[in-house]
């Protein structure tokens, strides 16, 4: 799978989740998700933080909901199981070092979101 296609799949999932909640994600947030990390200086720092925290919260909620609906899962580390589809898309992004900001957002969602002050790995069994 193409890493950009994997990233777009994740971004679409975040957008879909927001729509279900009656929220439209602003275009600049979506643009930030697709921006290479080295180019984030073009955006307001607070907006980048908002994009990260919105993405992390949405990804975690989507993962929890999908597992509750019975999605097939895989254990990725002690304390974390992910739906297979999420694991596949994340692994594609991670293994290819996709430089888009969404890559870090997903990693923050599945590990520790230090941007939000977390100090422990996210757990979801």
Q: What is the pLDDT along the chain (125 residues), one digit of tens a residue?
A: 899 999 999 999 999 999 999 999 999 999 999 999 999 999 999 999 999 999 999 999 999 999 999 999 999 999 999 999 999 999 999 999 999 999 999 999 999 999 999 999 999 98
Please state the φ and ψ torsions of residue 43, each to the nearest 5 degrees: -110, 155
CA neighbor of 10 nearest in space, from 49, 50, 63: 63
Partners of residue 80 on adjacent β-strands: 77, 124
**Predicted pLDDT at 68:** 97
CA 36-89-108 angle, 5° bins: 60
Q: Is the CB of residue 110 less than 8 Å from the CB of residue 122?
A: yes
Q: What is the 3-state secondary structure (H, E, C) of 12-58?
A: HHHHHHHHHCCCCCCHHHHHHHHCEHHHHHHCCHHHHHHHHHHHHHH
Question: Encoding tokens for residue 48?
Answer: 């980048």
Which candidate, 66, 64, 71, 59, places its Cα nearest to that of 125?
Answer: 64
Is the distance from CB of 103 to CB of 94 less than 8 angstroms?
yes
**pLDDT, position 43:** 96
Domain boundaries, the chain: 3-116
């Amino acid at each position: 799978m193409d890493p950009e296609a994997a990233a777009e799949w994740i971004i679409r999932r975040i957008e879909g989740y927001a729509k279900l909640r009656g929220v439209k994600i602003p275009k600049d947030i979506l643009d930030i998700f697709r921006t290479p990390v080295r180019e984030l200086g073009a955006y307001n720092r607070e907006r980048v933080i908002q994009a990260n925290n919105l993405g992390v919260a949405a990804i975690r909620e989507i993962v929890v909901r999908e597992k509750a609906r019975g999605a097939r899962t895989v254990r990725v580390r002690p304390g974390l199981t992910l739906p297979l589809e999420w694991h596949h898309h994340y692994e594609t992004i991670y293994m290819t070092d996709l430089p888009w900001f969404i890559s870090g957002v997903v990693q923050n969602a599945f590990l520790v979101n230090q941007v939000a002050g977390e100090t422990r790995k996210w757990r979801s069994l």
